[in-house]
Each structure stands twice: as structure tokens, then as C-alpha cells.
């Protein structure tokens, strides 16, 4: 399914840019089949692709949000969604987030995302990944995929067998490997910038940090925090992930039901999104929210304002978790250099401070401030090029 505005070749209106995206701040309603085009129009998506293969059990959705800056790029996640409507809602929000993330990171790529519906621990296999790769290939480079939740470099290797439009393949195959360490480093930079604003120093020694999610990004983040002497707490719904973290890092395990009541200085959501909502925000005792999860605000307008009113500094997720996409972007460009990637990821620190200062100066949320920076770049570049 495709939608394109004929009167605006950039895909993003110039004078209407900020207004359109501010209208999108409200939480996307649950998407019913007859509302798919309406939901795409509301968030200004270009294309939504449904992929099905009965023999492998594949059920996937690819969303291309905006290609003003270049071909859409964003990871594929596999999740056991409660419904197809929930999966559609997630992929629409995630792909829109990738547009903002790629823009604010200064990358020449647009926003896209893919979700595979199913239990990754029980259903994922080589055949399914390769079949998904063939669907990606049919898009002819409009969408490039990469690793996300419940996916691995091995999965990217399988997908690579069927299409060239995949990044994050193993280093042994000439790729950049797992992007998680770079994603975590960017989150760490954003966390330190936020601490600089709140505490007057970016030293995290003895700061109490609650890391929610012991996946790849959360684990690498814990490693950075341990080295600086932070007091790290961790929580996850999977015991095997916690066991791996406990064996290699210094952490205190917190029950998932007690995360939001924890005595913490910094809350770092590194699992799935929407953990900042009506129920959880009033419980928070922290001064900073800075984590690697996407779409952390359940309702971007309402909950961004609620954090602001409670005096909690929120480091926008699509800004500080952009290290991973930066890593695979340079792989896609064919000039991958780890030192260059890490140097660019360090710039998240400066941009995060710029966003916080901009939000204070204009009395808006940090989420809105980050959106304005991202959309300004898309609008400017849209004047000199057409969508991919």
C-alpha cells in the first residue's frame, strides 16, 4: 500500500512540517483493517508492505515512512504481537521514529522498519529469515533492513543470502557486526549529557541507574556504567538474560513489577516502548530518563509534558539510540570505519545538550525540541532532492 502527496515532492510540507508532526504526537489509536490508509495518512507514510509465506510461517510487515533523505533504513524485530492491529501500530510508529532518528543523526537515509509476527524463541529459523530476505529484495533498495529486537547477526547473514539490502551482517563477512555496542554507547553519551544538565557534571560515579531490559543494548550499557562506577540495577522478564548479565557485570536485580518504584537517579528503558505512561510516570523518583528503547512515550504529547512538569529530564529516545543506525549506515555506504562511527556517535552528547537547552528556551518538551531539529533538516534537504 502506498500513499504520496503529489503537491509536495519532498514528502514533507515546508510550512506545515512542525504542525503535522505535532499533530502526530497523540498516541496512534488501535489500527483496524479499514483504518490502515487513514493511519498511514495520519503519520504521512509512503508505503506499507504485507509479507506472507505459509510454508515458513512468515508473517511480516514492512513500513516505509519517508525517503526524502535517501532509501529507508531501519531494523527488523520479531515479536509475538497480541494482534495484527498491534503489529501494524508498532511498525508505523517505529518507522516514523526512524525518519526522525536518521535525520537528527545527520545520515542520508530515510525512515523504515519491519516487524515479523511470532515467537522468536520457537518459530524463527533459517528458512523464515531467507524468505523474509526475498520480500525485502522485491523493494529494490527502497528499504534496507538490519538487526533489532529478537534478531541477531546470524539472522542478518541468512537474509543476506537472498538480498543485498541488509546491513549489520557479521564482521567475518565484511559487515559491521552487531550494532548494539554502538547503540549503547550513544545512550551512554545521552545519559552523561543529561547528567551534566541536571547535576552540573557528567560523572556518573555512584549514580543509581535502573536499566530495564538485559538484552544486547542493555547489557552493553551496563558495561559502560560499571566502568564509570555507577550503581546499576537491572530488570528483565527473561531469567536467562539476567543470568548472563549477573555473571559478567556488577548489578542488583530488581523484580519487573518494582522497576518504577525503585530508588534511582536515572531510569534507562532498554526493552520495548510505551513504558512511560499514565501509570508509570507518577511512580518515578528519578531525575533523568535516558534509555535505548524506541517509542518510550506512550503518548508523546501528554507524557512528554508530564515528565517536564515533574522536573524529569527526558533524553529523546530517537536521538540517543541513534548510534546503532549510524553504525550500519556506514556499512551500507561501503566505507565502514569503526573509529569514525564512534566519533560521530559521541556527538550525541552535544546534540542532546542542544536539545535540552532548546526545550528550556522555548518552553517545550525535549521530545518536541528534538523533532524540530530533525524535521528542519528533512525540510531543508527536501528542497534540493526528490524522495528516493
**Beta-carbon neighbour count of residue 73 at 10 Å?**
28
* Catalytic annotation present for 113: yes
Residue with cell 534507562: 268
Give the DSSP letter string of 202-261: ---TT-EEEEE--SHHHHHHHHHHHHHT-EEEEE-S-HHHHHHHHHHS--EE--GGGSTT
Dihedral (Cα; 301, 24, 60, 78), 10-degree rounding: -20
Dihedral (Cα; 355, 356, 357, 358), 10-degree rounding: 50
Contact 263, 255 (CB under 8 A): no
Q: Which of 89, 101, 113, 207 is catalytic?
A: 113
Overall residue count recorded for the chain in this entry: 388
Q: How far is CA 89 from the centre of its chain?
A: 15
Contact 348, 182 (CB under 8 A): no
**Catalytic machinery residues:** 113
Amino acid at each position: 500500500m502506498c500513499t504520496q502527496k503529489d503537491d509536495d515532492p519532498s514528502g514533507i510540507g515546508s510550512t506545515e512540517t512542525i504542525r503535522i508532526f505535532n499533530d502526530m504526537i497523540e498516541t496512534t489509536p488501535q489500527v483496524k483493517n479499514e483504518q490502515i490508509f487513514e493511519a498511514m495518512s495520519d503519520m504521512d507514510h509512503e508505503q506499507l508492505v504485507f509479507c506472507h509465506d505459509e510454508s515458513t510461517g512468515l508473517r511480516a510487515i514492512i513500513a516505509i515512512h519517508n525517503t526524502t533523505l535517501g532509501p529507508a533504513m531501519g531494523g527488523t524485530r520479531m515479536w509475538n504481537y497480541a494482534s495484527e492491529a498491534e503489529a501494524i501500530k508498532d511498525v508505523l510508529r517505529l518507522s516514523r521514529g526512524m525518519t526522525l532518528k536518521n535525520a537528527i543523526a545527520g545520515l542520508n537515509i530515510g525512515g523504515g522498519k519491519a516487524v515479523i509476527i511470532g515467537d522468536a524463541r520457537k518459530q524463527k529459523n533459517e528458512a523464515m529469515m531467507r524468505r523474509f530476505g526475498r520480500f525485502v529484495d522485491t523493494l529494490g533498495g527502497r528499504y534496507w533492513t538490519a538487526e533489532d529486537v529478537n534478531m541477531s547477526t546470524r539472522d542478518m547473514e541468512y537474509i543476506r543470502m537472498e538480498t543485498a539490502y541488509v546491513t549489520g551482517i557479521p564482521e567475518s563477512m565484511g559487515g559491521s557486526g552487531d550494532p548494539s555496542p554502538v547503540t549503547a554507547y550513544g545512550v551512554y553519551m545521552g545519559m552523561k549529557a543529561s547528567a551534566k544538565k541536571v547535576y552540573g557534571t557528567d560523572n556518573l560515579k555512584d549514580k543509581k541507574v535502573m536499566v530495564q531490559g538485559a538484552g544486547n543494548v542493555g547489557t552493553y550499557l551496563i558495561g559502560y556504567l560499571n566502568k564509570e562506577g555507577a550503581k546499576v540495577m537491572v530488570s528483565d522478564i527473561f531469567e536467562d538474560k539476567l543470568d548472563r548479565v549477573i555473571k559478567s557485570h556488577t548489578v542488583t536485580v530488581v523484580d519487573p513489577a518494582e522497576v518504577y518504584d525503585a530508588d534511582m537517579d536515572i531510569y534507562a528503558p532498554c526493552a520495548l516502548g510505551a513504558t512511560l505512561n499514565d501509570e508509570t510516570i507518577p511512580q518515578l523518583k528519578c531525575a533523568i530518563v535516558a534509555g535505548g528503547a524506541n517509542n518510550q512515550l506512550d503518548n508523546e504529547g501528554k507524557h512528554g509534558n508530564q515528565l517536564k512538569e515533574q522536573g524529569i529530564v527526558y533524553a529523546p529516545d530517537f536521538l540517543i539510540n541513534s548510534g546503532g543506525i549510524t553504525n550500519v549506515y556506514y556499512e551500507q555506504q561501503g566505507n565502514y570505519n569503526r573509529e569514525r562511527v564512534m566519533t560521530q556517535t559521541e556527538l550525541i552528547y552535544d546534540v542532546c545538550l542542544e536539545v535540552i537547552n532548546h526545550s528550556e528556551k522555548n518552553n517545550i518538551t525535549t521530545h518536541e525540541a528534538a523533532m524540530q531539529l530533525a524535521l528542519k533538516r528533512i525540510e531543508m534537504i527536501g528542497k534540493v532532492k526528490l524522495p528516493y
